[in-house]
Amino acid sequence: MKYASKVIELMAAHPGRDFRMLHIVRYVCPNPKSQRERSAIREAVRLALISLMDCGAVICRPSVHKRGGYAVYRWL
């Protein structure tokens, strides 16, 4: 849970706003050094979001697009 505090900091400051994974990852690390680092950060953020969803602080809304869509996450 390396980035859980950053995810909570961002999302709790804006309750009710939808966040894409891309926005959360860019907040946590604005300038990753490589694609590998970006992927590692994305995975860590995903695990933090799953934990927050399990405790009921965050909800996930899947994409309504057929292909290439994205999910949005919202702090309750």
Q: What tens digit of pLDDT does each residue of 10-52 get?
A: 999 999 999 999 999 999 999 999 999 999 999 999 999 999 9
Taking a C-beta distance cutoff of 8 angstroms, is the pair 63, 70 a contact?
A: yes
Note the CATH number of domain 4-75. Answer: 1.10.10
Mean predicted confidence (pLDDT) in 2-8: 94
* Structure-derived torsion over alpha carbons of residues 39, 42, 43, 45, reported in degrees to the nearest 10: 160
